[in-house]
Amino acid sequence: MATSPEQMPDHAEVVLTCRGTATGKMRNELDVTMVKPFEERFTLASDEGAFHGGDGSAPPPLALFVAGLTGCLMTQIRAFAKRLGVTLDDLDVECRVVWNWAKVGRVYETGPKSFEIDVLLDSPDPVEDQLALIEAAKKGCFIEQTLGRANTIRHRLNVGDGFVDA
């Protein structure tokens, strides 16, 4: 993908992959690669605390998720502020995510309850311009756009000679 807004293509596909490897009691080493539109690679880790038998040596997956949502919106606000000519003197974002949790036999099931994002934007520009910036950032945030839609997630189990849907 081009490096300046003027050189952006009309359409592009963004593809990321992640390979997770179990390395500790509950620790996972996560090798994330952006495949398209250009290649970038990141190494992350997740772990759980004592509740799940982990050592708490890295953030749990839910913390990474909430951090990803918050960081995605913040990135878009800053990137789009430049493109829309909105002055940002300071920016903070406070994100609260609530899930329902219910015990079902020996396991539990979860479901999202609410996503609330407060944007604390310090700008001398008119409120209308600030609201337009936030609206653009919401539409440009990959994670927020994913959460706002019904998604089909396919799981497959490797059975040795191929995969079966799980």
Find out whether the peptide bond into 9 is cis, omega within 30 degrees of 0. Answer: no
Query: Would you place residue 5 in the very low, low, confident or very high pLDDT band (cuts 50, 70, 90)?
Result: low
The domain that contains 108 carries what CATH number? 3.30.300.20
Are 42 and 76 members of one domain? no
Residue 85 falls inside a structural domain: yes
Residue 96 lies in a domain: yes
Q: How many domains does the chain have?
A: 2
Claim to verify: residue 73 and residue 38 sit in the same structural domain: no
- pLDDT for 81 beyond 80: yes
Backbone angles phi, psi at 79, to 5 degrees: -65, -45
135 token code pair: 């609206």
Mean pLDDT, residues 64-76: 95
- HSE on the CB side for 123, CA within 13 Å? 23
Closest CA to 47 of 62, 32, 35: 62
Handedness of CA 146, 152, 157, 163 (dihedral sign): negative
Query: pLDDT tens for residues 37-54?
Result: 889 999 999 999 888 888
The mean pLDDT of 2-26, rounded to a whole number, is 80
Give the pLDDT of residue 66.
Answer: 95
Do 20 and 100 belong together in one domain? no
pTM for the whole structure: 0.85
Highest mean pLDDT: which of 18-27, 44-53, 115-124? Answer: 115-124
- Domain span at residue 141 reads 60-151
